[in-house]
Each structure stands twice: as structure tokens, then as C-alpha cells.
Chains A and B, each alone.
Chain A
């Protein structure tokens, strides 16, 4: 069964429950009280089926985004303008692969299997961040992606690092620490290009013009169009709303863009003295939904690249498994898969 369709029945926890709805309500109340007290929920703990399902959906889509996110930037590694930039870009793309792994493993602690998650991506049942369906057309896109795309991701991830599910929050802490390098290497490039020749400045302005709106879409639909947000906030899955995060991002980057004499392609963007916020015009939500539904510039290319990589890795996964089986047989010892001292994996 697809993890996207987990039913309540599948999720019933054996510990201490006889499955009556009264127990379920009491367990949910105790669960919510734990979150209220700031406790982290760990893999073996009781959790509502909807909490597990939402986390698996979020964490796996986050993992897919890290992996697909290697593609637009990876395309520029061979064309980096200096060795320093090339090493930084290689290291950044390698980090994204590692972040995808942290996140797949975090989702696996919720009993989502890797195979199901990958299948859901390749069969278009699972999403990844829309931003990676746009093309990288020039080198300055790399600077803009590092500063603004990773910068937007960090705003979101800093919030997620305070989330209630332990393995996800801990993965986010590691990711945020590593991504500050991603953001700063991009920011540095944009600063230097903005102060360069008129051609360089025009190039970086063109990158911002193309990426600006897709970046603002990264935070997702308006709160008024996110019906699940209140529940997710009560459960500590999210601790800030989409619109709050988008506003934090605008307030973070607009002052620097202004100081660099770069503009955003939004004639309505202005600083509102009263609220202390940068406020712009409305996002083109038709484009947002169109790209999410698969009709962005590069959706088909991105999935084709993922499918090819997955199929070409098949023999490696098979070889690793065959090797482990042979070693286990040679040692006449039970494989670790079945070996257990009866301890069970709760909390582990």
C-alpha cells in the first residue's frame, strides 16, 4: 500500500491500546500535552495516524527536493568560472545529496520504505519543491540560487528544526548548519557581480528577475488556502505559517537587494513603515498550481533524470545485498536483519 494512503487501521499502535475510540481520544490528548510541554516525539512513541502520515509526506517530499535540487546546480559544475567556485559548487551539490539521505532515513523511522518513497516520486504521486522545475540559464543563477533559494529554504528549515518529531528536527539542525555555507557562497557571488562590470550586473539582475517569483512560491499557498495549518501547528509539525515565513524572508533580503542596487520584478514592492514589513504584489498562483501539477518548464526532464539514476543504481543495491547475504552465510551467523536480543526498537 502506498504510504500516501495510510489508513487509520494500519496505524493502530499495539502498546496499551485496545482500539476503542475513547482510548484514541485519550492518547491523542496525552500526545498533544507532550508537544505542548516541548517534548520531542520519537519513533517508538504513540502518535496519531494523521501525524505520521503528514510527517512522512513532508519529510519524503523534502528529501526528494534535496535530491532533485542537485540537478539545476549540477549542470553548472563544469562551467564554473574559477577553481574556488567549482569546489564550492561541487561541495554544495554533494551536501544536497547528503541532506536527501538524512531525510529519507528520518522518514524511514516512521516505517515509510525507501522503495515506496522513490516510487511515489517517479510515479508523480509525491511532489518536490517547485523551484527545481525552472532552468539554470546562466552562471549568475548559481549565485542567486545559493543566496535566495537556499536562503528561503533556511527560513523554512529553521522553523522545522524546532518541530516536534525528533529525527526530523535533528536532521534539520544538521542541514541548517551546513546550508549557511550554501547561502553565503551565493550571497558573496551576487554581491561581487552586482559591483562588477555593467554586463555582470545586468546578468545578475536577469537571474533575479527570472527566479524571484518562483522563490516566493517556495513558501506555499496563502494561509487562507492551507486548511491543515492549524492542526499542523498544534502538533508542532509547523510552528509558523507559510505567509509568516514568506514575510520573514522578504524582510531579510530586500534591504540587501536595495543596498546592492538590484531590483525585484514586482512594481508594488515597498517598505511599509507602519508594519515594518516589505510588501509586494500578488503571486501568480495559477503558475504555482500549474507547475505543481507537472506543467513547469522542466518537470519531465527532472523526473527522467531521477528515473535514469534510480535504474542505473539498481545493480549496486542488488550487489550490496548479495554481498551481505554471502558474508552472513559464510560466517554461519544470523544476519543483523533477524538478530535481536528481543529488545525491540522503541525509542531506538
Chain B
């Protein structure tokens, strides 16, 4: 029995009201519920998150712009027929993260990506992620306050709570005054 048998999940965090969910990183967990709890423990120690989603990495269909440039890209895509809602994410900068763009209704994974390319045609994505809606486990709104609000009061975790720059400036100022008096 080892941790490595646990499946990988991708974690998405929403930093403030109205901001898109974005990929925070990945973790390995035994099930969806524990994955969500672990995501909170690992990724939310600062008041920088108001909502979390987790989804098994195995449920993410990914295609890079490079792959889509091949006219035959559809041949390698999954040909499943699983109608429903799919969430669309895109990474637009190499050093950036995947951001949530919106949801499309589609007949399956392949048609979800085709719709995403059309719906979000002004997004210059380096890599697209298409994930069935049903794959997500999300923060229960009733739990949100108990999960995220405590971080707001922990100001001592914020570097701005330590005034080292002004302390050093005052020390140097006092030294300069002393030496000019001498």
C-alpha cells in the first residue's frame, strides 16, 4: 500500500469574487472528498482563496496549440459519446497557469473541444483543458466561511506585518546623523 497508488487531482482556486478559477497545482488523494480537503490544507494558508474545485487528472482532456496545428488532430482524440456540460480551461502564457474560461454543452469530449475552440476563439491558448462537469468536486458554499475566512485574521503570515525596511532605514539614518555630528 503506498501513496503513489492514489490518483492525481488538479486543484483550481478562485482568488476573489468574479475572478476565474485557476490551476493552483496538483495533489494525490484517495478520493474526491479527501482531495478537496487536502487542497484546502495544502494550497490555502493565506487569504487568497474563496472557492476550490478539484478534478481527477485522468478526466482532463488536454490538447496543445502545437497538437491542434496538425490537421489530423481529431484522429487521436477520444471518440466517446458522453453528452453534458464540459468546463473549458486555457493556459495562455508559458509561465502562467490554466484559467477557467466557461462551460460548453456537448455530445462528447471531442465536440466539447471543437465548441470551445469556436466559443473562445479570441483566446490564444497554448494548452486547452476540457473536463466534464461531473468530474468536479467543489467547496460547499455552507463550508466556505469555515474553510477560508480564518486566513483573513492571520495577519502575522503576511510579510507586510514586519517593518524591516523602515527599521533598517531608521538605523542607517541615525548612524548617518551620528557620523555627521562627529
Contact = CB atoms under 8 A, between A and B. Distances in A.
A117 to B, nearest CB: 9
Contacts of A191: 164, 167-168, 171
B119 interface: no
A318 B1 CA distance: 7
A271 B168 CA distance: 20
B73 interface: no
Contacts of A332: none
Interface in A57-109: 84, 87-88, 91, 94-95, 98, 101-102, 105-106, 108-109
Nearest to B165: A184
Given A91-B154, A195-B171, A348 B129 contact: yes
B64 interface: yes
A181 B62 CA distance: 36
Given A108-B26, A324-B30, A346-B62, A341 B162 contact: no
Contact of B58 (A106, A192, A320, A340): A340
Given A256-B168, A321-B6, A339-B59, A109 B26 contact: yes
B58 A321 contact: no
Taking chain B's interface residues, is the majority helix, strand, or loop, or is none over half, making it mixed? Answer: mixed
B95 A341 contact: no
B83 interface: no
B25 A328 contact: no
A170 B43 CA distance: 12
A187 B164 contact: yes
A98 B42 contact: yes
B159 A184 contact: yes
Contacts of B3: 113-115, 317
Contact of A323 (B2, B25, B31, B129): B31
User: When A and B form their complex, which 8 residue pairs have the shortest distance between CB atoms, in order from nearest?
Assistant: A113-B4, A343-B61, A324-B30, A347-B62, A115-B2, A184-B162, A348-B60, A324-B31
Interface of B: 1-8, 10, 24-34, 41-43, 45-46, 56-64, 78, 80, 82, 94-95, 97, 109, 127, 129-130, 132, 154, 156-159, 161-164, 167-168, 171-172, 175
17 contacts: A38-B94, A94-B45, A98-B43, A108-B28, A174-B24, A174-B43, A178-B45, A181-B158, A184-B162, A187-B164, A259-B172, A320-B34, A321-B30, A341-B82, A341-B109, A342-B109, A347-B129
